[in-house]
Amino acid sequence: MKWIKKIFASGTAIVLCEDHVPDRETFSEKLDEVGKYFSFVKLDDAVKNLRNGTLSNHAAFCLENPRKSAFQNAVPELIDRNIPFTLFLNVDCIGLNRLPVQEEIAIYKSHYAQALADDSTPEELSWVSPQDAEARLASWRQRIGPFPIEAQDPTRYFATWGQILEIPPQMVEYGMHLSTKPEGKLVLRHEEALDFIRIQTRQAVRHAFSPYKVSPFEKSLNQLGLQAVICRQSQGEVSLKTNVFDIPIWNLES
């Protein structure tokens, strides 16, 4: 595995975002390598520095989802090292023994490749229209077969709210997943998720995670009370030119 090969000059920072964390030792090695070059800070502090134009050599750590593997291997390591982190929550999956809709679609198309060979369902359907994506899955369950749960890694499934709320509150900030473009009536769905997360965690929710760029919708995001969005589609370091609604992820393997 290739590690960071240079120390960025003052005025840059990175955001690390892990999802499935199958091995604690490898995860620990990543933290060691990052710690040689950067000081770990809360994502909230990194965003404030970006907005104020005072970035330094800081690294903010995020967990894209509360997967069981993250609770087995990442969360204990972060707590032991006193590294604060942000945990993004998809309220449609927590404690329900299911995966995000886009993952279930991809698994169905892989497991039932022959039966769905002519199916043109795009991977981004769950982003464009969550209702249509759920309807497509329901149709497949009836016509094609059950979701192949026995063939999946059980640690990829999500933890429960009880496990999430056991994290020491001083160590974690909570964010939300944007599941649709934050415009028009679709904002209402995000408001419901935001309210639910706030009630469950008793924390403010200022940050979101998105698979695609949403910076053109800053007004709608501001209306939700969000101050920054981490974007999987964007890769690289954070600089003073970075839009807070399109914060890139630094890939340690790059």
Q: Which two tokens stand for residue 114?
A: 């022959």
User: How far apart are alpha carbons 2 and 143 in whole angstroms?
Assistant: 45
Give the range among 12-21, 25-34, 117-126, 218-227 with minimum mean pLDDT: 117-126
What is the CATH superfamily name and number for domain 12-96+160-249?
Answer: Glycoside hydrolase/deacetylase (3.20.20.370)
Average pLDDT over residues 111-125: 89
User: How far apart are alpha carbons 245 and 233 in whole angstroms?
Assistant: 12
33 or 128, which is more confident: 33
Return the percentage of the chain with pLDDT > 90, whole number: 67
Q: Which two tokens stand for residue 184?
A: 């028009």
Residues of the chain with CATH 3.20.20.370: 12-96+160-249
Report the SS3 class of residue 247.
Answer: strand
pLDDT tens-digit readout, 151-194: 899 999 999 999 999 999 999 999 999 987 776 555 667 888 99
pLDDT tens-digit readout, 13-36: 999 999 999 999 999 999 998 998
Alpha helices (runs of H) in the chain, residue ranges in sequence order: 24-35, 43-52, 68-69, 75-80, 101-111, 125-128, 130-143, 161-165, 186-201, 218-223
The answer to whether residue 49 scores a pLDDT higher than 60 is: yes
